[in-house]
Structure 1
Amino acid sequence: MAVTETERSAMRRALSIAANGPRGINPQVGAVILSPAGVVLAEGWHRGAGTPHAEVDALSKLTSDATRGATAIVTLEPCNHTGRTGPCAQALIDAGVTRVIYALDDPGAESSGGADRMRAAGIDVVSGVQSDRAHELVADWLVAHRLGRPHVTVKWAQSLDGRAAASDGTSQWITGPDARADVHRRRAEADAIVVGTGTVLADDPALTARDGDTLHPRQPTPVVIGSRPTPPDAAVHRHPHAPLFYDSHDLADVMADLGARGVQRVFVEGGPTLASAFIAAGFADTVLAYIAPVLLGGDRLALTDIGVGTIDDARRLQVQEWVPLGADLLAIAQPVVSPPEGS
């Protein structure tokens, strides 16, 4: 049976209300329940880990008689596993729903399979409706799910000869105002902004995302990594979000904890030591190199040791885009993934 315009309209509504849910360790999902005549009976969305999923949230607003023969419109394939909540696929079966339309397949090894379960129970299941919009909604969650950790962007600014600072340590400002504005815009897109204690002690950064003197509506949570204490009057303590401090050099543990907190996108803005540590650990999914047309010389390199002892070990990148920013140039690059041996 073809998807009707009423059902497509309901999917657009489901995608809209899905955004009411929080970004976090679970995806944002919306659901709309339609009567056999195409009348909207109920809506629901997922409100965070441990709460009812969108389908169950919508079903909970209806009597069992109302759900018999209904159609469920969902932005993600109803799950097929029992965690802190039960399987949504079974909840729809038990509710007597006879048709389910969803946008995206569930990528989880344990949670997928809901569509097959519902079809086996005699439900008419249609997938892929407005999948592009649904993918855009949960793109960050999908990336974090695939990686098993937050997505990491490592950023630095450098002179044309690869220096991050002059010989006396001064670095403000290597790049111009257009480049700095671009950095703040990208900060606002992240869930967390990460620096080392060395940067906090040397520069006392606020770690906010700003448009001129105005704070962006969305602010990343500040994260400070390192064993040296942060002064109580440091600017980071005045951030809109309470900072997270990690007295650790184990980036895998830090990333695991951030992921458990629902962080999906990490923006690393520490100095050369921290940037190099993330790259050496294999935690640089995107590199942003802001290149200024100045020469500084000296030994204040933008990166330090990243574990490359010979040219054959070079960490090769593929530049996705070159972006002119006033007099500066931004290189947006990602690691080159080597094909499996023998492929």
Structure 2
Amino acid sequence: MDRALALARIARGWTAPNPAVGAVIFRGDTVLGEGFTQPVGGHHAEVMALRDAAARGSDVRGATMAVTLEPCRHQGRTPPCTDAVLGSGLARILVGVVDPFPAMQGQSIAALRAAGVAVELVDDPRCAEQIRGFTRAIVHGLPEVTAKVGISLDGHLATASGESRWITSPEARADAHALRASHDAILVGIGTVLADDPALTARVTAYGRPITHPRPVVLDSDLRIPATARLFDHPVRPLILCAEDAPERSLPAEVVRVRRHDPTGALRAVTARGHHRVLVEGGGAVHRSLLDAGLVDDLVVYLAPTWIPGGRSWVGGPPLGALGDAVRGAITSVDRVGPDARITVALRHVTEA
């Protein structure tokens, strides 16, 4: 299952609205085939593993498959994976976690067992974590949210005048682009667009798979975004979320109206379009609103060994009144990236799915 999980992680940010799944076929200590979910409309992990086994000339009859998520049972753009497994002659299936979709949950496991295939439900929490965004979208209509910042040791992302290029190193920025590529959408506020005119593309991807670009999403209550903004040249059509009373404008983007000051409603609109993993890159007001609403799952901080006295804080809004109201998290990893540090923090959030 460790290898299947590693494969599933490769597919993150590549498969929406489908979950990123990994599968490995083995006999004893010998891997016969492996694969992960392809972009929507392509093969799922189980079929990719069977195709890989065939390409290697491996006989999978009587072998075991480990797959991070219960094989699909429904007919969509591709045939049910359960049928492919049943037709392969595999003798045993290790399932990381059951399908979170209530109508499908456990159906494939039951069908495989009825056909004489031995199925073991591993119920691995790492597999559940791998599809957290997919599960939350089904159960709550919300995405998995990661907030990302690049800051100095004193917590600033820019000088007082707004200069911010570059606080972090080239290595950290490349790592951040790989982080972008592992998400379905990248969200910023209109302040970031007006100040930096970001392209919001992913120039680097992890694991050597083709680069995919997360969909750019802009929170722009009053539709102030310039028609010349660089993100309108993005390979994926941008999504602009504005207030219900915003002026009418014709823009080369999908414009969706949501209630003002409603971060939950904004994220629901993103999720409804099939984006289950969202990376938030600011600015400070956006970070603060999502943190205050308890909607951020993880915070990734790129920390540069420098000081910017009097600089701009990465989180905006009014001062906190009481320490007991502070958002607290748990550091899950600290890694060195070039001269900088990458710190990942798991935060409290409203929905635990």
Q: TM-score range by the shorter chain?
A: 0.5 to 0.7
Q: Which amino acid aligns with 1:237?
A: F
The within-5 A match list for 1:117-132 is 117-118=110-111, 121=114, 123-127=116-120
Alpha-carbon separation, structure 1, partners of 2:44 and 2:301: 42
- The residue aligned with 1:305 is 317
Match of 2:106 among 90, 113, 133: 113
SS of equivalent to 1:164: strand
Deviation at 1:276, TM superposition (A): 1.1
Q: What SS class does the counterpart of residue 265 from structure 2 fall into?
A: helix
**Structure 1 residue 204: Cα displacement:** 0.7
Contact 1:79 1:106 in 2 (8 A): no
Aligned alpha-carbon RMSD (Å): 4.8
Q: Unpaired segments of 5 or more residues in structure 1?
A: 1-11, 32-44, 59-69
1:329 partner amino acid: A
Per-residue CA deviations over 1:185-206 (Å, capped at 9, x if unaligned) read 2112222111111111111111
> Shift of residue 166 of structure 1?
1.7
**What are the superposed Cα offsets for residues 259-289 of structure 1, whole Å, 9 maximum, x if unpaired?**
2322232111121111111211212111122
CA contact (8 A) 2:297 2:349 kept: no
Aligned to 2:290: 278
Residue 143 (structure 1) aligned to one of 109, 132, 136: 132
Deviation digits for residues 226-265 of structure 1 (CA, Å, limit 9, x no counterpart): 1233212111111111111111443222322322322232
Distance 1:24 1:307 in 2: 38
Change (3 A) 1:30 1:336: closer
Could you tell me how far apart the structure 2 residues matched to 1:329 and 1:288 are?
A: 10
SS, match of residue 186 in structure 1:
helix
How has the CA–CA distance of structure 1 residues 72 and 257 changed in structure 2, closer, same or farther, with 3 Å as cutoff?
A: farther
Distance 1:280 1:307, change over 3 A: farther
> Displacement of 1:127 after TM fit?
2.6
Partner of 1:176: 169
Q: Judging changes above 3 Å, is the alpha-carbon distance between structure 1 residues 119 and 197 closer, same or farther for their aligned structure 2 residues?
A: closer
TM-score, L = length of structure 2? 0.65
Selected match of 2:181 from 169, 173, 188: 188
- d(CA) in 1 for partners of 2:320, 2:93: 50
Residues of 2 paired with 1:158 and 1:29: CA distance? 33
Q: 2:19 aligns with which of 12, 27, 38?
A: 27
Hey, what's the Cα distance between the residues in 2 that align with 1:53 and 1:186? 22
Q: Alignment partner of 1:101: what SS?
A: strand
Structure 1 pair 325–231 and aligned structure 2 pair: CA distance change class (3 A): same
Contact 2:72 2:80 in 1 (8 A): yes
1:204 equivalent to 2:197? Answer yes
Give the letter aligned to residue 297 of structure 1: G
Aligned partners of 1:164, 1:281: CA distance in 2, in Å? 22
- Cα distance in 2 between the residues matched to 1:180 and 1:296: 22
Alignment coverage as a number of residue pairs: 295
Distance apart, 1:89 and its partner CA: 11
Cα distance in 1 for residues equivalent to 2:332 and 2:224? 38
Q: How many angstroms apart in 1 are the aligned matches of 2:172 and 2:80?
A: 46
The residue number in structure 1 matching 2:235 is: 240
Q: Which runs of 5+ in 2 are unaligned?
A: 24-36, 51-61, 243-257
Q: Residue 308 of structure 2 aligns with which residue?
A: 295
5 Å matches for 1:11-22? none
- TM-score by length of structure 1 reads 0.66
Instruction: Determine what percentage of the aligned residue pairs are the same residue.
Output: 33
Paired residue type of 1:26: N
Residues 54 and 202 of structure 1: CA distance in aligned 2, closer, same or farther (over 3 Å): same
Cα distance in 2 for residues equivalent to 1:297 and 1:191: 35
Alpha-carbon shift at residue 296 of structure 1 (Å): 2.1
Find the counterpart in structure 1 of residue 29 from structure 2: none
- Partners of 1:271 and 1:112 lie apart in 2 by 39
Deviation (angstroms), 1:98: 11
The 3 A distance-change label for structure 1 pair 314 and 115 is same
Q: Distance in 2 between matches of 1:180 and 1:53?
A: 30
Which segment drifts farther, 326-335 or 187-196?
Answer: 326-335
Q: Rg bigger for which structure?
A: 1
How far off is 1:26 after superposition? 3.2
1:25–1:259 contact (8 Å) kept in structure 2 = no
Letter in 2 for 1:203: D
SS at match of 2:17: coil
Q: Counterparts of 1:261-276 in structure 2 under 5 Å?
A: 261-276=273-288
Corresponding position of 1:257: 269
Q: Distance in 1 between matches of 2:204 and 2:44?
A: 37
> Do the aligned partners of 2:151 and 2:167 also contact (CA within 8 Å) in 1?
yes
